[in-house]
Amino acid sequence: MNQLLSSSMSCLRKVAKSTLFKLCLFTCILSHITFLPNHLNIHSSLHRINLTTAYLHFTVILAADQSNARSILTYQSNLDKITKLSPSSALAVSGPNSDLVNFSEYISKNISLYQLSNDGLQLSTHAQANYCRGELATALRKGPYQVNCLLGGYDAPSGKGKGSLYWMDNYAALSKVNYGCQGYASNFCLSIMDRDWTEGLDQDQAVAIVDKCIRELEVRFMMSQPNFIVKVVDKDGVRTLKFGADPADN
């Protein structure tokens, strides 16, 4: 009887190990897939707006559509979805407008508070990205933010400036990338970026790639998004390069 019980337990351990290995493998595959841009909002397809980004060694280009819509209604077409977090970093957020504004302002104000509370110490882009990821992970188990983000920044440690870009989704997955998209834009723009992005692009070349992505969305995407805003993050800080409609015009 004891021998039969021991044999049964051994079989169960093998099955458990095999199942665990398959589960881990499946999780790894899913994790790899989630590094690519996916859906934005589970409630309304019109909230699945587009963010595109091109990354250079010294500069980050962030672009987003300016539409604010729900269901069949468009509320405004001059919304700025790219929030300045610090003098040298910005956060592009996609999602329903309530979560978009709430999360952007929450992150921005807390980073400013950290700087004020620590004698002007400014968080690096890497630290800001991990702080955002931590807040998304905490909210995931309480009241999730339905937001997907692209965070770009410029750091100059030891006088050597470098731009960096981080991709994160509403499930708090975080990845450092050379280029990325959120929302439905990923279906149209990732192939363009994969083909055209190379190490050492200058700003004009990166902006040209973003312009290609915008034109592709205008031609292929079924929903009309008439206005896009493009911002640059580099050694001179965060600045608006161009926009379809002035966000300050209320």
5 within some domain: no
Looking up residue 157, the CATH number of its domain turns out to be 3.60.20.10
State how far the Cα of 200 lies from the Cα of 212, in Å rounded to an integer: 19
Predicted local distance difference test score (pLDDT) of residue 15 = 42
- Percent above pLDDT 70 for the chain: 76
Total number of domains constituting the chain: 1
Dihedral class, residue 172 (left if φ above 0, else alpha if ψ from -120 to 50, else beta): left
pLDDT for 123 beyond 50: yes
- Percent above pLDDT 90 for the chain: 63
State the residue range of the domain holding 177.
35-243
CB 128 within 8 A of CB 111: yes
Give the type of residue at 26: F
Q: Closest Cα to residue 59, out of 160, 140, 161, 159?
A: 161
Higher-pLDDT residue of 182 and 34 is: 182
22 within some domain: no
Higher-pLDDT residue of 159 and 164 is: 164
pLDDT in tens, 51-69: 655 545 578 999 999 999 8
Q: Closest Cα to residue 77, out of 87, 90, 68?
A: 68
Res. 47 pLDDT band, cuts 50 70 90: very low
CB 68 within 8 A of CB 94: no
Give pTM, 2 decimals. 0.77
pLDDT for 101 beyond 60: yes
CB 210 within 8 A of CB 41: no
140 within some domain: yes
Q: Provide φ and ψ at 42, rounded to 5°.
A: -80, -10
169 within some domain: yes
Which CA distances in Å does 15 have to 3, 9, 19, 22, 179? 19, 10, 6, 10, 41
Predicted local distance difference test score (pLDDT) of residue 10 = 57
Q: What is the mean pLDDT of the chain?
A: 81
65 within some domain: yes
pLDDT for 29 beyond 50: no
21 within some domain: no
6 within some domain: no
pLDDT in tens, 179-216: 999 988 999 999 999 999 998 888 999 999 999 999 99
Average pLDDT for 142-169: 89
